[in-house]
Amino acid sequence: METDTTVLDIQKRYGSRAMTLSICIALLFVLLGYKDVCRGLVLGGLFSTLNFVLMGQFLRYRLDNNRKSGTKKALIALLIRYVILAIPIVISVRSNKYNLPATVVGIFMVQLVIMIENGSRLLFASFKH
């Protein structure tokens, strides 16, 4: 029996997994002596999770009865999310404390977690049959 999954449940699941993965990989890089990579991964992962949460919160703006105002609100929400995703990139470019490629990888951490989860689900489902 399956229960209904809410947007908040999905946000919690993927957000916490993305941050956990970011921190675990970052700790590995700290042990290897790459603190700038560690900082970049965590910074990108944090903003990736924030973007994912905002995406869920802004979802209701797309469901406006008035198509014109709904479209306007959705575009503003998208612009806000893009500005938020630009923040870690700007920080990483301006500071030597953050590794830019690691920050970019961190920004895609939620998407990576979703792909890993669904890919592993498909892989293990093929072994059952």
From residue 70, alpha-carbon distances to 53, 60, 61, 64, 79 in Å are 19, 9, 6, 5, 14
Distance CA 45, CA 88 (A): 10
Give residue limits of the domains in the chain.
7-112
Angle at 36 between CA 109 and CA 27, to 5 degrees: 60
- pLDDT tens series, the chain, 129 aa: 456 778 888 889 999 999 999 999 999 999 999 999 999 999 999 999 999 999 888 877 667 677 788 788 888 889 999 999 999 999 999 999 999 999 999 999 999 999 999 888 888 777 766
Distance CA 59, CA 88 (A): 23
pLDDT at 105: 96
pTM: 0.84
